[in-house]
Structure 1
Amino acid sequence: MQSFNNAHFMGEKVYSKTPTLWQAQKQLGLQYGWSQSLHSDNGLRSMLSLARSDCPITPYEWYEKLGYTMFISNHLHGLVAKKLPDRVKDCCKPHLSAREIEILKLSADGKTAYEIGIILCITERTTNFHIHRVIMKLGVNNKLAAVVAATRACLI
């Protein structure tokens, strides 16, 4: 699963802390545009930036072109990810929520899903849901392997 973050629009206000960068972009004719970031579950991140020299981006134009931008971002992200060596892919830590980390720590202590549910005041089903999400994010086959992988990656 991949997630898109909000678009970031180019402009003098955005570059207020880096005026030198803004001046360099203006000299190259890049005054108007936006950047669309993309994050995938395996920890890879990318950003597609589109820019032009004239005509500010209107909300209508951005909305009209957003679908194309997301499609292109997703496609290019996938192509680049395939070309990366495995060691680069392995070094990226997946994002685990605070609840997922909490459940992993309790699992590492030998607690069952039922016991974790009681400790955290959630149902056993909810505990298993979080465990399943961790297993998927870490690309392992079971809860024990998830605890080992999370420990190796310094996530818990």
Structure 2
Amino acid sequence: MITLSFYLSELMGMYFDVKRKDFWPMFIHHVATVVLLFFAWKCHLFRIFMVALVLLDCSDVLLELSKIMIYLGHDKTSFVTFFTFVLVWIVTRLGYFPFWVVRSYAQDAPRILPFLREYFVYYIIMTFVSILVIVFCIWTIFILKVVNNVLFIDKPFSDSRSDSDDEL
């Protein structure tokens, strides 16, 4: 319930924050997460989705740490934490999430709860989980563009969605 309220507040707060390049993927992500958490709670499937949330939050910590290191001027540390973030992102969001969590819901949940496929909720959840996987693929493209810029074009790290201090 705490996570659900957090994502609801993030969803409402998006309209008062500066619009970023990834506004629509972020909006879709928050809506899908709210819908999934609601139905997971109502259908007693919250254990599967809590595993997913813990799994997906692993990379977020590394991203924030990398940003902090950039702001503090620790270039080598930010480089290491960013590339660790990229590795964890790809493993968790494009590996474990679709092939472990989604598979578990798609195959194991109906076997454990046979009545689940009889209700439309199963198909709603599968739709929104698939939407999340698509959003993760879109964000992975954004991340790989940053990796390309850092490795091959020698641009410094920056969050292309954020405002710079020079513009303030």
What TM-score range do you get, normalising by the shorter chain? under 0.3
- Pick the structure with greater CA Rg: 1
Instruction: Tell me the TM-score normalized by structure 2.
Output: 0.24
Higher relative contact order (CA 8 A, sep 6+): 2
Give the structure with the higher percent strand.
Answer: 1
Of Structure 1 and Structure 2, the greater helix share is in: 2
